[in-house]
């Protein structure tokens, strides 16, 4: 599980403990420092704000997710692998569920968490053996970010120990997302083929347009008719 015994870990544990009992927006860095029993200068060196602290928590969760991930995933099992990776993340977050409910209500507009959040999605894709690079990888990362946010909301309200609602929502969203990604990949592959063939097609087209055609034979000048009247004469 996540190591919360380090100085940074103690600050995260203190912050989550405080968030369990009050709205996250009311929790201050001073209270976090007092609860963790750490001096303020050490707190500032570790995390300059609550947003940085949450980003640090995300990275710790990322590390734990990757520790649990299978290193080899077959191409046909990637959706199932992603299902397992996301459920593994939710299992890691389970002890902090009450605190995360408070945090979720207070942080939707915190833009400083966008990059750590998207980076978490990218690593979950990677853990499931799914390419997260390039244009299609960017789409997958953004798509998983939307999917995960929706599933996380379901999970926060799912009090069933078996998480039946959460798993059903995750499976449904993954199937829909898989269809959308396949359609996008087909489009990208088609455009890639066009872009690859375009120079050759242009060269052939231009070559056919500007290729010199043989000139028509030039007619020999006719010999003058001895019986014809000179021009201008009757």
Query: What pLDDT, on a 0 to 100 scale, did the predictor assign at position 209?
Result: 57
Q: How many CB atoms lie within 10 A of CB 77?
A: 14
**pTM score, two decimals?**
0.76
Alpha helices in the chain (DSSP H): 7-21, 29-36, 40-46, 50-68, 78-93, 97-106, 114-127, 134-156, 164-210
Confidence of residue 221 (pLDDT cuts 50, 70, 90): low
Q: What is d(CA 173, CA 147) in angstroms, rounded to the nearest whole number?
A: 6
Query: Could you give the C-alpha distances from 234 to 56, 222, 228, in angstroms and in order?
Result: 111, 22, 10
Distance in Å from the first CA to the final CA of the chain: 119
Q: What is d(CA 22, CA 24) in angstroms, rounded to the nearest whole number?
A: 6
pLDDT in tens, 75-124: 668 889 999 999 999 999 999 999 999 999 998 778 999 999 999 999 99
pLDDT in tens, 3-23: 999 999 999 999 999 999 999
Structure tokens at 19: 């968030």
pLDDT in tens, 38-79: 999 999 999 999 999 999 999 999 999 999 997 677 766 888
- Chain-centre distance of CA 24, in angstroms? 27
**Domains within the chain, CATH numbers bracketed:** 7-191 (1.10.357.10)
């Amino acid at each position: 599980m996540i190591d919360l015994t380090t100085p940074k870990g103690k600050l995260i544990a203190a912050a989550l403990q405080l968030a369990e009992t009050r709205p996250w927006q009311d929790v201050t860095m001073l209270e976090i420092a007092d609860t963790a029993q750490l001096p303020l200068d050490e707190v500032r060196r570790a995390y300059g704000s609550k947003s940085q602290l949450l980003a640090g928590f995300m990275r710790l969760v990322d590390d734990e997710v990757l520790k649990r991930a299978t290193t080899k995933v077959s191409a046909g099992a990637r959706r199932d692998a992603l299902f397992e990776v996301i459920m593994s993340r939710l299992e890691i977050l389970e002890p902090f569920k009450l605190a995360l409910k408070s945090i979720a209500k207070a942080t939707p507009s915190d833009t400083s968490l966008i990059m750590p959040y998207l980076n978490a999605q990218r690593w979950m894709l990677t853990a499931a053996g799914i390419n997260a690079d390039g244009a299609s990888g960017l789409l997958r990362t953004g798509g998983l970010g939307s999917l995960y946010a929706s599933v996380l909301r379901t999970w926060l309200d799912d009090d069933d120990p078996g998480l039946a609602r959460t798993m059903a929502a995750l499976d449904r969203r993954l199937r829909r997302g898989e269809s959308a990604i396949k359609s996008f990949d087909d489009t990208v592959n088609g455009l890639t083929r066009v872009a690859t063939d375009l120079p050759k097609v242009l060269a052939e087209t231009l070559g056919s347009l500007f290729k010199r055609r043989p000139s028509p034979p030039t007619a020999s000048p006719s010999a003058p008719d001895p019986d014809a009247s000179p021009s201008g004469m009757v």
